[in-house]
Chains A and B, each alone.
Chain A
Amino acid sequence: MDFTEEQLRRYSRHILLPEVGGKGQKKISQAKVFLVGAGGLGCPVGYYLAAAGVGRIGIIDNDTVEISNLQRQIAHNTKRIGMPKVISAKQTFEELNPDVEVVPYKDKLTTKNILDLIKDYDIVVDGSDNFSTRYMVNDACVMLKKPLVSGAILRFEGQVTTIIPEEGPCYRCLFEEPPPPGLVPSCQEAGVLGVLTGVIGSLQATEVLKIILGKGELLKGELIIYNALRMSFRKVKVPKNPDCPMCGSHPTIKELIDYEEYCSLQAH
């Protein structure tokens, strides 16, 4: 496909970059990215990927917009309180860039639907708010060999890592198991600085674009930790764990695990 005059103008600041150029921009416009969550992280990730011209953005979330979301979830707004988040996100992203097709899934991501949902996408971005989803997304991406950009936030701190199955470690290499209920507080319990989601989501979107372009160094085998209070970024190494139950030499996890019960416990 060739770019129209308008598209050339829209993406001119990208096309000017030697690392992107017309060829890279074409790759971006043909890419299909799946976002888990239309919340704190999903909003900035989707917003920037839409601006960048990613061809198709799938987004799943079962929640509706609430007023307490608006301190950080910038794709939604006051008039849309009560609207499904994925519909609100679709409107926002498509208004920003009509070139982008946003596919909303107002649903819960489960062990039953995840493989089918992500199979036609090139890259998955995790911005979920609970451990059960986080581990399930990791396992599904390892099974289908989909690159995964995982981000998480709490209070003033965020973490990002990029998982390239077979090449690098997976989330279970990093943390073997989810913590038992109650030991790690959720954002709902512990709070989160709204703008932190913008920092972490922007880092995730950057990783996605680098994967699409095949440029730069990914956070593969590394975890970056951002602390907003100290204004510090730190990186630690994440080696591939040979004993990883998911991607090690003798994997013990052969099917997706439903941590549902675990999660509902956590909610109480």
Chain B
Amino acid sequence: MAVIVRIPTPLQRLTQGKEEIEGRPGSIMDLINDLDGKYPGIGERISEGGKIRRFVNVYVNEEDIRFLKAEETEVKDGDVVSIIPAIAGGI
């Protein structure tokens, strides 16, 4: 078992189209750095200088990490991490 990471549509280009990938337990930043090793470029799309970008939210299970321990939030095997960016299409 691992951490399940859900990748949003705009970033799936970097994960060979995969919507769900596996990640390593640890803090959110550990997880993102680990993902960036496997899928180069994904780290900077989600974060900048060790901080999650302001138009991207990261959820552990259903909880927004900004209201947990932010980038220091720990994730464990079996947790589902969702990365959700703002999208704007409508027309």
Contact = CB atoms under 8 A, between A and B. Distances in A.
B15 to A, nearest CB: 14
A51 interface: no
Contact of B91 (A39, A177, A223, A225): A39
A41 B85 contact: no
Interface in B32-91: 45, 53-57, 59, 62-64, 66-67, 82, 84-91
A237 B88 contact: no
Contact of B9 (A128, A154, A177): A154
A190 interface: yes
Which of B56, B64, B66, B91 is most buried by chain A, counting CB atoms within 10 A of its CB? B91
Contact of A184 (B54, B62, B86, B91): B86
Which of B9, B56, B87 is most buried by chain A, counting CB atoms within 10 A of its CB? B87
B82 A236 contact: yes
A214 interface: no
Interface residues of A, number: 49
Contacts of A159: 84, 87
Query: Which label, helix, strand, loop or mixed, suits the secondary structure of the B interface?
Result: mixed
Nearest to B89: A187
A183 B42 CA distance: 12
A152 B67 contact: no
Contact of B55 (A130, A155, A157, A176): A176
B44 to A, nearest CB: 10
23 contacts: A40-B90, A41-B90, A127-B91, A128-B88, A128-B90, A128-B91, A129-B91, A153-B90, A154-B88, A155-B9, A157-B8, A174-B86, A175-B55, A175-B57, A176-B55, A177-B55, A178-B55, A178-B86, A179-B55, A179-B86, A184-B86, A185-B10, A237-B64
